[in-house]
Amino acid sequence: QKEVEQDPGPLSVPEGAIVSLNCTYSNSAFQYFMWYRQYSRKGPELLMYTYSSGNKEDGRFTAQVDKSSKYISLFIRDSQPSDSATYLCAMSGGGSNYKLTFGKGTLLTVNP
């Protein structure tokens, strides 16, 4: 079983839709959970991070972590064409373990 699993998609939705992106993981030591957004031919940029379990909201984006199920989600409300990108989940054990383990990424297209 891979440490981090992420459905690569592609996912295509109409503008205004609610988007749900997900990752599962196997390593119980992961404490920090990140979502990176990567536009075509660009470097990834940090969108949100969550420590341990719970929810975090930032504008149209909500990140959820369920450590009991080893499952994380990113929700995008009122999706816009500018949200079209690859979304990568990433995880870290935190503390002195600063290395990130990435999912393969999900390609999202929001159609106007």
Partner 1 sequence: NAGVTQTPKFRILKIGQSMTLQCTQDMNHNYMYWYRQDPGMGLKLIYYSVGAGITDKGEVPNGYNVSRSTTEDFPLRLELAAPSQTSVYFCASSTTPAPYEQYFGPGTRLTVT
| Under rule CB under 8 A, residue 90 binds partner 1 | yes
Binding mask 33-62 for partner 1 (x = CB under 8 A): -x------xxxxxx--x-------------
Handedness of CA 25, 34, 18, 62 (dihedral sign): positive
| Residue 23 binding partner 1, by CB under 8 A | no
Q: Draw the binding track, 67-86, toward partner 1 (x: CB under 8 A; -: no contact).
A: --------------------
**Rounded distance between C-alpha atoms, residue 60 and residue 18, angstroms:** 10
Residue with structure tokens 């149209």? 60
* Residue 106 touching partner 1 (CB under 8 A): no
- If the CB atoms of residues 60 and 104 are measured against partner 1, the closer one turns out to be 104
Torsion (CA) 72, 76, 81, 86 in degrees, nearest 10: -10
- Give the CA count within 13 Å in the CB-facing half-sphere of 64: 11
Q: Which residues of the shown chain bind partner 1 in the complex (CB under 8 A)?
A: 6, 8, 32, 34, 41-46, 49, 88, 90, 92, 94, 98-100, 102-105
